[in-house]
């Protein structure tokens, strides 16, 4: 295996500053059984190599008018408390969550677990049943339209609209079938790995080494060798490595532009709209906030305008939705005593050459003003250390085209079919996995993409 960085994991990494530890990449961990499966393949107990704990609180939500709501991991408790906070009846929430599960159950085996680009994937009774049910999956509505059909409370609609950001899209364009995402979080739960998110990749790396996998760090691939329609290996600055099978985990745009320059380019796929990126401030703060938990959201007052800025004007709104992740809530070693490690993120447009120094300065001010208004504090007086990650840096550090977090966006009902497949018919023996290809971004889907590739190779 060849890796440009001097560590495994790609976007999953961490940093330390003034005694604070921060996860620098993904902060949400769901469906841990996909990680466990990799250890179980060798009949080993996953807990001997990788441990995590389930959170009782999924997320805390805050609005400018003082409304606060905690999503409890227990479905019955969530429904009961939601009816007390929002203008909604239990039956409406029950119906929505049941539909969310039905959508997942009807489509997961084809949209998430198999290649959409192989005829054999459609030759099953399960797939036929899914197609029969397709009229009720919400693919002709946007996620926002789907949510407004179920709820009249604008705050509750906004809460469920937010799930579009889980694949870097806008709820005003991504199809209503994405309302299956709440099921993944509310049914399977949210988790925190011991040692932080980095332990996901680190434990798999350590296990792979134990099983004989060889890793070549700080040795970026310069070219994928191919001849007569077949991949033959890779070329790096240190040598030529022959192989009958090549799997690229790099961003598919980068794979073609840098590693397959002399191959036919899938222009339409590479020109697809990219997902949103992120602007992240890592703040070490010198006090604790009991009203906050691991995951916290401070909502924008104008959600639709926020997404218009992200995908149309490629700018940052003055009142962004602010996500605050604090792992020291569960692991006190992540911050000095009496302090907390704040991972503060807003959704950002891709890197289109904007002046990020100007945008960062502007965003810092607006984010702090939002936090001050909602929590009734002066957060700037409590920040003792700061690190920053912006779309331009994400692009340069991870080779993700335009700094996108999830490859192409899902702002169309055909987006699942337009993602690059996990193989290419132009070059036998060449496969693709990771967040920029089928089935999509995020830790669970990245693992599923690797599983699909494994099945294709077999």
DSSP secondary structure letters along 89-142: -HHHHHHHHHHHHHHHHHHIIIIISS-TT-GGGG-SHHHHHHHHTGGGTTTTSB
Read off the pLDDT of each residue in 219-248 and give the average, rounded to a whole number: 97
pLDDT at position 117: 57
Q: For a pLDDT cut of 90, what percent of the chain falls above it? A: 88
pLDDT reported for residue 418: 78
**Does the pLDDT at position 181 exceed 80?**
yes
d(CA 132, CA 308): 34
Q: What is the pLDDT of residue 122?
A: 44
Q: Residues with Cβ < 8 Å from 266, sequence gap 6 or more?
A: 256, 420, 424
Q: Look at phi and psi of residue 343 and say left if phi exceeds 0, alpha if psi is from -120 to 50, else beta.
A: beta
Mean pLDDT of 115-144: 63
Distance from C-alpha of 68 to C-alpha of 275, rounded to nearest angstrom: 29
- The span from the CA of 254 to the CA of 438, in Å, is 16
| Helix or strand run (H / E) with residue 324 | strand 322-325
- The larger pLDDT score, comparing residue 139 to residue 368, is at 368
Chain centroid to CA 40: how far? 24
DSSP string over 216-272? EET--EEEEEEETTEEEEEEETTEEEE-S-EEE-S-HHHIIIII-TTS---HHHHTS
For residue 415, what pLDDT is reported? 75
- Strand pairing category for 190-193 and 29-30: antiparallel
Q: What is the mean pLDDT of residues 141-151?
A: 96
**pLDDT tens string 41-55:** 999 999 999 999 999
For 438, phi and psi rounded to 5 degrees? -60, 135
Q: Which residue has the higher pLDDT, 419 or 203?
A: 203
């Amino acid at each position: 295996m060849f890796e440009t960085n001097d560590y495994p994991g790609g976007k999953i990494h961490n940093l330390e500053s003034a005694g604070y530890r921060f996860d620098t990449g993904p902060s949400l961990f769901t469906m841990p059984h996909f990680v466990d499966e990799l250890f179980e393949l060798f009949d080993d107990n996953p807990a001997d190599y990788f441990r995590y704990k389930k959170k009782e609180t999924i997320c805390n939500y805050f609005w400018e008018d003082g409304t606060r709501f905690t999503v409890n991991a227990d479905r019955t408790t969530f429904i009961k408390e939601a009816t007390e906070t929002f203008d909604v009846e239990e039956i409406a929430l029950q119906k929505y969550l049941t539909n969310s599960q039905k959508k997942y159950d009807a489509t997961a085996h084809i949209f998430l677990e198999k290649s959409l680009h192989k005829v054999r994937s459609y030759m099953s009774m399960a797939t036929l049943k899914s197609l029969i049910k397709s009229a009720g999956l919400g693919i002709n509505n946007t996620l926002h339209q789907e949510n407004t059909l179920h709820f009249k409370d604008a705050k509750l609609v906004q809460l469920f609209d937010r799930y579009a950001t889980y694949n870097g899209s806008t709820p005003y364009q991504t199809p209503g079938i994405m309302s299956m995402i709440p099921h993944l979080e509310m049914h399977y739960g949210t988790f925190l790995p011991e040692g932080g998110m980095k332990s996901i990749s680190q434990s798999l790396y350590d296990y792979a080494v134990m099983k004989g996998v060889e890793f070549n760090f700080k040795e970026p691939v310069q070219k994928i060798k191919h001849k007569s329609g077949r991949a033959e290996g890779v070329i790096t600055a240190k040598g030529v490595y022959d192989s009958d099978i090549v799997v690229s985990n790099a961003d598919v745009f980068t794979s073609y532009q840098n590693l397959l320059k002399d191959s036919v380019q899938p222009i339409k796929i590479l020109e697809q709209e990219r997902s949103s990126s992120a602007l992240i401030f890592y703040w070490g703060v010198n006090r604790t906030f009991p009203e906050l938990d691991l995951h916290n959201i401070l909502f924008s007052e104008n959600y639709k305008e926020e997404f218009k800025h992200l995908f149309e004007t490629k700018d940052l709104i003055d009142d962004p939705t602010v996500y605050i992740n604090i792992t020291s809530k569960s692991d006190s070693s992540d911050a000095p005593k009496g302090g907390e490690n704040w991972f503060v993120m807003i959704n950002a447009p891709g890197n289109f050459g904007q002046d990020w120094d100007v945008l960062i300065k502007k965003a810092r001010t607006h984010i702090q003003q939002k936090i001050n208004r909602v929590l009734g504090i002066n957060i700037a007086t409590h920040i003792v250390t700061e690190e920053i990650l912006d779309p331009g840096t994400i692009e340069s550090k991870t080779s993700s085209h335009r700094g996108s977090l999830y490859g192409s966006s899902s702002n169309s009902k055909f987006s699942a079919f337009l993602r690059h497949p996990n193989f290419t018919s132009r070059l036998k023996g060449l496969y693709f996995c990771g967040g920029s290809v089928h089935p999509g971004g995020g830790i669970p889907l990245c693992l599923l993409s690797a599983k699909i590739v494994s099945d294709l190779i077999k």
